[in-house]
Amino acid sequence: MKLGSLTRQLGLAVVAFVLVAACGSSTGGGTASCSSAKTATSIADCGGLDGLVAAANAEGKLNVIALPRDWANYGAVLDGFAAKYPSIKITSDNPTGSSQDEVNAVQQLGASSRAPDVLDIGMSVALANVTLFAPYKVATWNDILAAQKEPTGLWFQDYGGYMSIGYDSSKVPAVTSVADLLGSGFKGKVALNGDPTKANAALNGVMMASLANGGTVDDISKGVDFFHQLKLKGNFVPVQATTATVKNGTTPVVLDWDYLSAAHGTDVPTWKVFVPSNAILLDFYAQAVSKTAPHPAAARLWEEYLYSDAGQNLWLKGLARPVRMAAMTTSGKIDAAAAAALPPANGTPIRLTPDQATAAKTYLAAHWAAAIS
């Protein structure tokens, strides 16, 4: 695992030596076992990575939620963690759930053994629920830009990409603009990846439509109006697009992240991905450790794995842009072949600020249902 500069490593080793006694006794192999994982804000609080691993192995379980195996290569990520830490059994609940579903599970299940340990959520949902998270800084924390993390580690972005229009070119005309979706050739064919009042991907799909129709990052209303027009024309399909619905032809046109859309080409060879030059919307998801995680050591070890070189490159192989990509490119740790395969986007990227994401979510909560009813 990449820990940073030599100076940082030496400093961490000194802290680890001092904290071994506080975190538990050493095993026969000299590994510290952390008894305070629930309040650990870094691996230093567990006497180093070995102490965190020992504590996580003792827990023996990790609960994740809303992680489809075909989303950003999460199948390989889950398998990679399981292979590296075979003593930890992963329970993956509600793989097709939304960001809001993750938060609901934390609130409803509390500290029970079934509750989620960690969350992978959209920014609008993350910002609205920071009181549910525990602060934690992964060992590669310094590689994450300040704008992409909460200063104390309540949330930190993980991977991202561009909002796009994916379509089966054998079933619909070529897409060259968002406005094309209003055409007669798209009747009953246009879908989102979820409910935009709950799912980050869907919210950003509406925002992309808004930007393409003269809206701004401060005003998602034109996107809601656009989907109202799609509904009136009979073009909007009110079902969540998934790998299965794309494969069986139920949703031959999907507004979704480019890395998710590009993956449909595996099942549908005629699938194409279009990123509109007048609405190049970039966004990242975020990780958070649940404050009531039933397996706090395993939760933190999971984050360490995700932000290691291996974890970041697995997301990259899923065509998503890992948050440490710039730092890993500089250090030579990036998977160059995977980076070269990323979907293209030509133009200046637009990103929502936390306040803009929150405002968009609020507007959708008040207006979306009426627009598509």
The per-residue pLDDT for 344 is 78
pTM tops 0.85: no
Residues 6+ apart with CB under 8 A from 244: none
pLDDT tens digit at each of 373 positions of the chain: 333 332 333 333 333 333 333 343 333 333 445 778 999 999 999 999 999 999 999 999 999 999 999 999 999 999 999 999 999 999 999 999 999 999 999 999 999 999 999 999 999 899 999 999 999 999 999 999 999 999 999 999 999 999 999 999 999 999 999 999 999 999 999 999 999 999 999 999 999 999 999 999 999 999 999 999 999 999 999 999 999 999 999 999 999 999 999 999 999 999 999 999 999 999 999 999 999 999 999 999 999 999 999 999 999 999 999 999 999 999 999 999 999 998 877 788 999 988 999 999 999 999 999 999 9
The per-residue pLDDT for 33 is 56
The per-residue pLDDT for 12 is 36
What is the per-residue DSSP string for 273-317? EE--TT--BEEEEEEEEETT-SSHHHHHHHHHHHTSHHHHHHHHH
What is the per-residue DSSP string for 109-140? HTTSTTS-SEEEE-HHHHHTTGGGEE----TT
User: Angle at Cα 35 formed by Cα 135 and Cα 312, nearest 5°?
Assistant: 45
Contacts for 140-143 with beta carbons within 8 Å, 24 or more apart? Answer: 140/1, 140/2, 140/3, 140/4, 140/307, 140/308, 140/324, 140/327, 141/42, 142/4, 142/8, 143/2, 143/4, 143/307, 143/323, 143/324, 143/327, 143/328
Q: What structural domains and CATH numbers belong to the chain?
A: 6-158+285-340 (3.40.190.10), 161-282+347-372 (3.40.190.10)
Helix/strand/coil percentages in the chain, nearest 5: 45, 15, 35
